[in-house]
Amino acid sequence: MREMSYRVMVVDDSGFMRKIISDLIELDSAFKVVATAADGREAIDKVAELKPDVVTMDVEMPEMNGLESLKVIMKDHPLPVIMLSGINEEGMRETIMALELGAFDFIRKPLASTSSYDIEQVGRELREQMKAAMLAKERER
């Protein structure tokens, strides 16, 4: 009997990135993207409504960024959140803040201009982190 798949929500202000990240996640049948959100406020509402098993969250978003919404999600509906960000000086500071706020982990976001190998690499890393998050979550039960 096949196990139920984990429900994932992808949060990114770029529709293009939401599509790429969703496709990368669904390469593993253990995960099903059940929702996407374009900003932190929408993410908070959808987490409350849909209660996904795991969330991937972009750090830089207009209106309400990933760190602000992470803070609210961890307070109201704690669940594994994997942050995605472009890697630069600013990104490193945000990584540490995100982990302090309760993010499960942090992954470098594929740049739209990068090679398909780079995107596949990020996808593998993301799926591995999501599996680790689900294992950790099940151990807590």
For the record, the structure tokens of 90 come out as 């600013």
- What pLDDT, on a 0 to 100 scale, did the predictor assign at position 117? 67
- What pLDDT, on a 0 to 100 scale, did the predictor assign at position 90? 66
Closest CA to 85 of 9, 12, 10, 8: 12
Three-state DSSP class for 6? strand
6-140 has which fold? Rossmann fold (3.40.50)
- What pLDDT, on a 0 to 100 scale, did the predictor assign at position 94? 84
Per-residue confidence of the chain (141 residues) as pLDDT tens digits? 446 799 999 999 999 999 999 999 999 999 999 999 999 999 999 999 999 999 999 998 988 999 999 999 999 999 999 999 876 666 678 888 999 999 999 988 866 666 676 888 889 999 999 999 999 988 877
Residues 6+ apart with CB under 8 A from 56: 8, 9, 10, 11, 12, 21, 25, 81, 82, 83, 84, 126, 130
Domain ranges of the chain: 6-140
- What pLDDT, on a 0 to 100 scale, did the predictor assign at position 1? 43
